[in-house]
Amino acid sequence: MLSGPLSLSVLSTIVSRKRWRIRVCQFENSCTTSNCLQYFTGTSGVITSFNYDQASMFNRSTTQYLNNLNYAICIRKEAGYCSITYTNVRNGVEYPFQLNNVNSSGIRTVPQGQAGADVINCPNDYIILDGSRLCGDKLNDGLTIRNFTLNAPITDSSAGPIVIPVMTDGSLTGLGFKIFYTLNRCPTV
């Protein structure tokens, strides 16, 4: 554990006003799974991409997910729970999900307002849930609801640790994601 003062310096040539909300947490290395940049415990919670800011949707400030990332989000699988369900809709409110990709001609790989799934639609900016690359403007892997203009819950029943790879390149950005997760109890035999 680090003791003493911590100093953050920002150097910018842009004159526009910036907003900062920085949270720093220290924990023992043995508390998390290796290579997890974000780590969550408990039977339910909220996952957000770095720099996600729902308030920007309402006050027209610019926010965007960060470029050139390759990291993992991990969720501890609690005892007695065997699967996990992800959604970006809570109590009837849809929270923005947006990971953008373009092809070599500069054209979006996923039409605006739709979900993208697989390596063709999501070559560079994506998250992986239940083994599927996901991107676009909706959270939907096509397994529950085939209409990609709608959000749909995604359930992962795979064995082993819960790891969500996150990948972004340097070409463009978007709003990012806010995803709610709920662990589901193991079926009784």
pLDDT value, residue 51: 86
The structural domain count of the chain equals 1
Is residue 158 a part of any domain in this protein?
A: yes
Is residue 151 a part of any domain in this protein?
A: yes
Is residue 25 a part of any domain in this protein?
A: no
Burial class of residue 140 in the structure, from the number of CB atoms within 10 Å of its CB (0-12 exposed, 13-18 middle, 19+ buried) = buried
pLDDT value, residue 35: 82
Report mean pLDDT in 10-residue bins for the chain, 189 residues: 67 70 64 79 96 65 84 96 98 95 94 97 97 97 95 96 96 92 93
pLDDT value, residue 188: 87
Is residue 31 a part of any domain in this protein?
A: no
Is residue 96 a part of any domain in this protein?
A: yes
pLDDT value, residue 62: 65
Enclosing domain of residue 77: 41-185
The CATH number of residue 137's host domain is 2.60.120.290
pLDDT value, residue 72: 97
Q: Could you tell me the sign of the dihedral formed by the alpha carbons of 135, 136, 142, 145, in that order?
A: positive
pLDDT value, residue 1: 55
CA distances from 3 to 6, 8, 26 (A): 9, 15, 10
Q: Could you tell me the sign of the dihedral formed by the alpha carbons of 145, 146, 147, 152, in that order?
A: positive
pLDDT value, residue 21: 72
Is residue 20 a part of any domain in this protein?
A: no
Is residue 26 a part of any domain in this protein?
A: no
Helices (H), 8-161: 56-59
Least Cα distance to 33 among 129, 157, 161, 176 occurs for 161
Is residue 65 a part of any domain in this protein?
A: yes
